[in-house]
Amino acid sequence: MSEDDGLNLAGMIDRTINIKPYLRILALVFAASFLAGTFVPSPIRRQMTEMFQAMAGDYRGLSGGMLFFNILVQNVMATLFVVISGVIAGIIPTFAVGSNGFGLGVIYRQASEVSGYSKAALSVLPYGVFEIPALLVAASYGLWLGVMVVRRKRGKEGTPLKTHMEHAFRRYFAVVFPLLVVAAAIETALILSLP
């Protein structure tokens, strides 16, 4: 296969891949996990919230630019791992979405008991608008890669895994990365605005 053939194959894959089914499945996993997180008993919720606040506290002493960079790098590394680890039958991307949904549900419920439901919703909204969609898209490509690996092992998929990986990374940098940049900027502003 020539390099031109490889590029044509990659272009064809770009046009034919539809991750919507994977996105829907993972959105349901996230919603169910979020809901489950809101039912966690109060002592465990407090412990988890304290752990989250301690992790966020590590960022408090950083300047705006350094804070933004650290948040962005951490989120990029986490979401890239979610995409790459998808080749292991899509288990890790699904787990990552579930654990994030659960954690956000715990934090939302704890915040709602302290400051009310509307203020709690506003506190998790920045994550819900940019960071969670970025995670869902990254995990969808990870899950899709896992399905492609399983299909290849069963002889139902002839496209090389490398071509699928290249497609997933192109879509990552076109869709996920810009969302993470905006999410990091919002998170930086929120942390800097805390007393």
In the chain, alpha helices (H): 3-16, 20-38, 42-57, 64-84, 91-115, 117-126, 132-153, 161-171, 177-193
CB 165 within 8 A of CB 141: no
Whole-structure pTM over 0.85, yes or no? no
% of the chain surpassing 70 pLDDT: 85
More confidently predicted of 152 and 125: 152
Amino acid 35: pLDDT: 95
pLDDT surpassing 90 at residue 153: no
Query: What residue spans define the domains of the chain?
Result: 19-193
Closest CA to 22 of 76, 82, 78: 82
More confidently predicted of 15 and 169: 169
The pLDDT tens digits of the residues spanning 93-124 come to 999 999 999 988 988 888 888 888 887 787 77
Would you place residue 195 in the very low, low, confident or very high pLDDT band (cuts 50, 70, 90)? low
The pLDDT tens digits of the residues spanning 120-144 come to 787 777 677 788 999 999 999 999 9
